[in-house]
Amino acid sequence: MRSKSKSFGSHLYVTAATLSLGFASISVQAHAQTDTGRVTGTVVDPTEATIPGATVTITNTGTSETQTVKADAAGNFTFPALQRGPYKISATMTGFQTTTQSFDLQVSQVQTVIFKLSVGSTDQTVEVTSAAPMVELGSSTIGSVVESRQQTQLPLNGRNFTQLALLSPGVTRGNYGNGASGVNGDAETFRNSSSGGGSLSTNGLRPQANNYILDGVDNNEGLVNTLNFFPNVEATEEFRVNTSTAPAEFGRAGGAIVQTSIKSGTNSIHGSAYWFSRSNLFDASPNYQFLGASKTAPLPFKRNTFGGAIGGPIIKDRLFLFGDYSGLRENSPLNPEIVTVPTAQMRQGNFQELLGRGTTQAPTVCGRPGVTTVAVNGGIYDPTTCQQFANNIIPQGRLNSAGLRYLNAFPLPNIPGTLGGTQNNYRTIRTDVRHSNTIDGRLDYNISTADRLFARFSYDNSNFTRSSRFAALPAGFASGTNYVHARGYVLGETHTFGPNTINEFRAGYTRYTFANQPVFSNTPISANLGIVNANRTTNLGGGALIGGNGSQLEYTGDYGTYLVPENTYQINNALTYIWKGHTFKVGGNGIRREVAYFRPISGKGYFQLGNGDFTGYNTSEVLAGFADNYSIGAQSGLFGTRNYEVGAFAQDDWKLSRRLTFNLGFRWDLITYPTEQQNRQAALNPNSTGANPTELIAGQNGVGRSIINTRFTNFAPRFGFSYDLTGQGKTVLRGGYGIFYFLDRGGIDNQLGQQVPFGGSTSYFASGGSRIAFTGQNPTGSSLSSTLATAPLPGPTTSSLAGANVFAVNQTEKIPTVQQYDLQIQHEITPKMVMTVGYVGNLSTHLATGYNFNSKPFSAGATTPTAFPTLGQVVYNLNDGVSRYNSLQAQLNYRANKSLTLTSSYTWAHNIDNTNGYLGFYAVSDLNYYDHSLNKGNSSLDQRNVFVASALYSIPFGRGQQFGSNINRGLDYIVGGWQLNTIVQAQTGTPFSVTFPVYGGGTSIRADYANNGQPIYTHSIQGNYINPAAFSKTQPNGRQGNTGRNQFYGPGFAAGDVSMFKTLGVTERLKTELRAEVFNVTNTPQFQNPDGTITDGNFGKVTATRLASERQMQMAIRFLF
């Protein structure tokens, strides 16, 4: 058996040596990211003179794995590459008493132990009973650890571990969705909205800048960079959140580096089983009464979360197994949504209800050049004469048949609404039905004292179905069924070459698929209504996209089915060598990402109604038979992209003295832009002219396969220090600087395969001479000339750029880059309490930005500025965004054994940038490409003041406790074993801009101050939060107003969550927890930002609360053994 083990280790030695030397000399990837920890320390005598040659032994008390080293000439010792878990460490030397200490080593922790040996015999043992020091002396990295008790005992709605990352200073949830748009407001990350996977903002950076690591390997989805797997909190011991200046082994991130690992089995069988149940039975009524609405009953809700975990030995001290399962069944409502549907009179062509209400506009597109339109307040206009229809009624003979059937498919108004019932007149509550099953299994094998092997498998099969806003039409963000199917495999091996040299190897493979099937996808709704060219194939059922001004008529339809299967292959290796006071670590990692996607852009057609350009109002546009523009996408099958993330690193943690440690590192990152298997990628050449636009096509005319060239100069130095100010291990000053890189792919709609001649969409504009109607023909009685007069609307073209919606890219683009810098002081107030205060900042450059490239510089009176008149929409995806973040961060930790644990953090921060990026709330298409400085302002992720605190408190009453330790068992079952836990959050509001739509409603510009002495804020929730009278439309049209981007702030919020446990001891090893958890226990209202669009009827008003923010309660039972 020993010979086999030695043979196995020697094979891995060859592999490890090859990998480490290769990584160090040529490069391989962006994060060796091992999840093991390190124990370092010094052995001294009573006079604090060092004791060279002392024998130090460390034992994992869970698995009995033991290692022994000798202290060097300076009395220092180091145990690298230790698996997290419970440890006992001892130091012995002839002439001194043996000293031992116990502690728990956390994931990726650097634990410092100082042994002060007393004179005596080695057979005399001194047991140090105090807890391990809370001040971390050997590392300059800024971050924190969320322990296992916090994960399983703090109130956690949805049991998602990433929510507890908010306990770390500098980490926020960013902007919240309102239920219509999910947490992030975009389709890709919405699928994880209940988990919050893609929505952590760390030190002001976008969620795409985070790096999630599970068992030492990459756990990031490849398209929008959310998580592949959400580990079950019953299956993880703890997780670490590094927020600034991480060591050189970590790359591919500028935000948080979140490390966690699945538990290992030990020599004792341990585990848990649980059932959490939440329903509306104990929920509070939604807080709509604060918005002036009537109080309603709690919305129907039902969630059951159940599962368990178990671990133990297969062969004592050698082979261990751990596994877990979690299931979710949920039926939950969204917040009520107020939308606009056509009134009964409008469906007959009668628009008299609009007269005098100021909601229409004179037509901007008219069939009779030179005719002056006489504007009428609330008038509806005949596009063939440019004058108001008689009595504001469209004649029956002029009604478009398909448009009429379409309007009749809407439900009738069910609430009074605004503006005489013409807007905001329909209330709907959609529901989500969620099913999820996840499994993890981990095998650990101590092959020999020199070799340790583990393997892990993870499985996720989840889906949720969201209903439509309407019974007969698809409407509402993410309506349909969303699927996530994931499989993950990891193999890791740690080999000890000697007391000073250890190698860690990881290999992983992940198969991750997400998809969306829209509602009504099996029914050709548009074709049934008479709308041509929409349901062209069996996988394009449902409805075409139709809409313009949502306050006049609710959008309906969808793009169509999308599918994104991904494969991720990775290896990483790290070799650690200890020499004198140096701990050297070199290595690297390689990742190959295969991201395929099927996503027809406007696959069923998109009729954009503009802002009433023909008749003055969206609903009348439909009936009269006009749309402002029409686009339709090609079906190009499944695109298959490939990219690589490669890098190498070297790190030296140099213990210059007992008090001073330098953390010196350097890495090199190679992150390639995606190629496509068949070179089906294209982009507009930004250097071409509007009169003759040309494309860059992958693999043609000297253009590379990725179009954007790979940069080989992504160098990332890291420097940090940690200095013990007093020499007593109680006060440490740490600081650091580092450069980090990450890739922001921007979601499925920003991929270069989505473009002519391979995909994308083609647009037809009314301003270009086409008269667009649902039936593909001009309305009855129209005398307009039209290129589309008698034939159905055409399909997409892939033969020319005419009318195409395209992307432009810079071939020499740089990778998003983050420079981090910090200075922090940590002080032990008492042995159980530590306070940390510091400055944390970053400068981010080359951030992804989407510009409106099809524009000319602003000019007075401009209507539809066009730099490329033959093209449709042109978005310039350019990495030239800049952000700057500065913050004061403080944290207080108190740990009184296991009876009381307190954490609290406060962050004051200011985040300024000039771009919001690609996705969701962070997306913007800048109106003026020619002057980026106009966009400089408060970041959408700016949150000035954030306070978070948590507490775990086991009430010390009952048998074996401080009080009532001798009461009888019967009484103890009632009064003993109680625990109270809480999380409290408070933060100021998030920013927004005051804008109004221009150029047909396709984009918005910022408003002007009215300069009339009116106050800006009234801070009224039931009235106006901001004062509409303080603002005015920008005049002349075509310039940005003098209000700033994100200059105004919405309501802040505060909430407290509480959980209460009763623990019953069934046997010595079996315990039962009866739990009640209450979220937002005080039912404090939490409001969305006010409406910032001047032309909306609700401008200045707060119209919605945050999704599911009313008080909620769940009950649970949990068994521990």
Residue with tokens 């109106």: 927
Quote the distance between the C-alpha of residue 463 and its chain's center.
18
pLDDT value, residue 1104: 81
Higher-pLDDT residue of 596 and 173 is: 596
What's the pLDDT tens digit per position in 506-536?
999 999 998 888 999 888 888 888 887 677 6
**747: left (phi > 0), else alpha (psi -120 to 50), else beta?**
left
**Is the CB of residue 760 less than 8 Å from the CB of residue 614?**
no
Structure-block tokens of residue 612: 């009433």
Return contacts of 543-547, CB within 8 angstroms, 24+ apart: 543/473, 543/474, 543/604, 544/604, 544/605, 544/606, 544/607, 545/602, 545/604, 545/605, 545/606, 545/607, 546/406, 546/606, 546/607, 546/609, 546/622, 547/607, 547/608, 547/609, 547/618
Q: Which stretch of 371-385, 523-537, 788-802 has the lowest confidence by average pLDDT?
A: 788-802
Whether the pLDDT of residue 186 is over 70: the answer is: no
C-alpha distance across the termini of the chain, in Å: 34
Whether the pLDDT of residue 902 is over 90: the answer is: yes
Residues with Cβ within 8 Å of 446's Cβ and at least 6 positions away in sequence, in order, are 63, 65, 317, 318, 319, 452
Whether the pLDDT of residue 917 is over 90: the answer is: no
Rounded distance between C-alpha atoms, residue 504 and residue 486, angstroms: 26
pLDDT value, residue 369: 54
What's the pLDDT tens digit per position in 837-873?
999 999 999 998 887 787 655 554 455 557 788 887 7
What's the pLDDT tens digit per position in 732-761?
999 999 999 998 877 777 889 888 888 878
The full DSSP string for 812-852 is: TPPPPEEEEEEEEEEEEEETTEEEEEEEEEEEEEEEEEEEE
**Is the CB of residue 190 less than 8 Å from the CB of residue 182?**
yes
pLDDT value, residue 282: 87
> What average pLDDT does the chain have?
85
pLDDT value, residue 799: 62
Whether the pLDDT of residue 468 is over 60: the answer is: yes
Residue with tokens 């291990």: 729
Q: Residue type for 1019, please?
A: H
**Is the CB of residue 1100 less than 8 Å from the CB of residue 1028?**
yes
Rounded distance between C-alpha atoms, residue 359 and residue 361, angstroms: 7
Whether the pLDDT of residue 28 is over 70: the answer is: no
Structure-block tokens of residue 423: 């807007």
Query: Where does the pLDDT of residue 398 fall: very low under 50, low under 70, confident under 90, or very high at 90 and above?
Result: confident
Residue with tokens 């961060």: 889
pLDDT value, residue 20: 43
Task: Give how far Cα 358 sits from Cα of 353, 376, 417, 1096, 1100, Å.
Answer: 11, 9, 16, 11, 18
Structure-block tokens of residue 809: 């890219």
pLDDT value, residue 175: 54
Rounded distance between C-alpha atoms, residue 1055 and residue 1052, angstroms: 11
3-class DSSP state of 626: coil
Neighbours of 46 (CB within 10 A): 10
pLDDT value, residue 923: 43
Q: What is the pTM of this model?
A: 0.87
Whether the pLDDT of residue 180 is over 50: the answer is: no
Task: Give how far Cα 126 sits from Cα of 87, 89, 244, 968, Å.
Answer: 16, 12, 38, 36
pLDDT value, residue 296: 77
Name the range with the highest mean pLDDT among 147-156, 771-780, 789-798. Answer: 147-156
Cα–Cα–Cα angle for 863, 868, 873, rounded to 5 degrees = 75
Kindly tell me the burial class for residue 455, based on how many C-beta atoms sit within 10 Å of its own C-beta (0-12, 13-18, 19 or more): middle
Structure-block tokens of residue 629: 């523009």
Backbone angles phi, psi at 1045, to 5 degrees: -70, 130
Whether the pLDDT of residue 80 is over 70: the answer is: yes
Whether the pLDDT of residue 652 is over 50: the answer is: yes
